[in-house]
Amino acid sequence: MSVSKEDEWPEIGELVISTVTEITDYGAYVKLDEYDGKEGFLHISEISSGWIRNIRDHVREGEKVVLKVLRVDPARNQIDLSLRRVTQREKREKILFWKRSRRAESLIKSVSQKLSMSFEEIYKLISEPLEKSFGDVYSGLEAAAREGAEVLIKVGIQENLAKALAEVAKEKIRVTTVKVGGILNITCTKPDGVQRINEALLKA
């Protein structure tokens, strides 16, 4: 989730969403979107494994990038990052997680206005049960959009809050359905084969 992490620092090896703020001859400065805009540095040697003629061929000011945390020094307010150590799969998964977190944040803000509760208060009440039961907050809200408030109540969320979450989720989340089709060939050599097949299909 995209809750404020003003007093927190990323862990070494963590993937972070960052916005490039300044490019120099020896690297790029970025702000960490998930950590209240803390500044990090991407050295030119960590941008690409190949020869770099122009840093802007790889990153540009204002661009959002997925970076890996190499070193963290809170005393010096220093975070060293890497782009070349992030795989394409890690990049896709991190961006997907970040987008889902932002959608969940937007839904919770709508509920906070509806119930006159703070975002932080609602997040504290729902984050643990939803992450434990569904893997992440947005997956829990998707379940509420499909199945209603009952699915949230079952995991321990207060009824009034569960109903408000389900209502907003149904309004804002487009639930996709998948139809699976196919052809099934069944053969039975018995005299009453048709009847046997019908009975078997009804029991399946």
Q: What is the CATH number of the domain that holds 162?
A: 1.10.150.190
Domain hosting residue 76, numbered range? 15-86
Q: Which of 52, 86, 120 is the last residue of a domain?
A: 86
Question: What's the rounded mean pLDDT across residues 44-56?
Answer: 94
Q: Beta-carbon neighbour count of residue 203 at 10 Å?
A: 6
128 and 160 together in one domain: yes
Upper half-sphere CA count for residue 188 (Cβ side, 13 Å): 12
Residue 148 has pLDDT above 80, yes or no: yes
What the block records as the tokens of 65 is 């990038």
Average pLDDT value over all residues in the chain: 90
> What is the tens place of the pLDDT at every residue in 3-39?
556 569 999 999 999 999 999 999 999 999 999 989 9
Query: What residues are paired with 71 via a beta bridge?
Result: 80
If we measure between CA atoms, which residue out of 174, 124, 133 comes closest to residue 155? 133
73 and 117 together in one domain: no
Give residue 182's pLDDT: 60
CA distance 78 to 89: 27
The answer to whether residue 121 is domain-embedded is: yes
What the block records as the tokens of 195 is 């009847």
> What is the tens place of the pLDDT at every residue in 79-96?
999 999 999 999 999 999
Q: Which 3 state secondary structure label does DSSP give 134?
A: helix
What the block records as the tokens of 169 is 């989720």
95 and 168 together in one domain: yes
DSSP 44: G
What the block records as the tokens of 88 is 């394409």
Residue type, 186: I
Angle at 171 between CA 162 and CA 156, to 5 degrees: 15
> What is the tens place of the pLDDT at every residue in 95-108?
999 999 999 999 99
Contact in structure between 130 and 161 (CB atoms under 8 Å): no
CA distance 89 to 56: 23
Structurally, how many domains does the chain consist of? 2
The answer to whether residue 9 is domain-embedded is: no
Give residue 6's pLDDT: 58
What the block records as the tokens of 98 is 């970040």
DSSP E strands, the chain: 15-24, 27-32, 38-43, 64-73, 78-82
If we measure between CA atoms, which residue out of 113, 13, 23 comes closest to residue 63? 23
118 and 60 together in one domain: no
The answer to whether residue 2 is domain-embedded is: no
Give residue 195's pLDDT: 73
